[in-house]
Amino acid sequence: MLKRLPPIFKNFYFLTGFLFLIWMIFVDSNDLITRFSMSSKLRALESEKEYYEAKILEVEKDRKELMTNKELLEKFAREKYLMKKETEDLFIIQVKE
């Protein structure tokens, strides 16, 4: 049976290299399949990081505007937290779809 094998399959270095390659592709804890899934997850997380960094800049800009403009702060408080002056009545209108 061994006589029918090509000489390259009888070579110790070829067999060792081939087994090492199989081990690294399929068996090892850092195999190629895991590497590809981790790299795709990394790309998704980096794009998510960019989104949140942009949102942080937007919120910081809005905060700076709110802290410097008293009228804008009052408008924000009225709309977001339904605040009102003591002499005012507040009516909330909800549209049913």
pLDDT single digits (tens) 68-91: 988 888 888 888 887 787 888 877
Of 20, 45, 58, the residue nearest 66 (C-alpha): 58
Residue 66's H or E segment, with its range, is: helix 32-68
Residue 4: the pLDDT is 81
3-state helix, strand, coil in the chain (%, to 5): 75, 0, 25
> What pLDDT, on a 0 to 100 scale, did the predictor assign at position 97?
83
Q: What is the pLDDT of residue 19?
A: 92
The candidate with the shortest Cα–Cα distance to 45, out of 84, 24, 59, 37, is 37
pTM of the complete model: 0.54
Residues 6+ apart with CB under 8 A from 72: 65, 66
Residue 1: pLDDT band (50, 70, 90) is: low
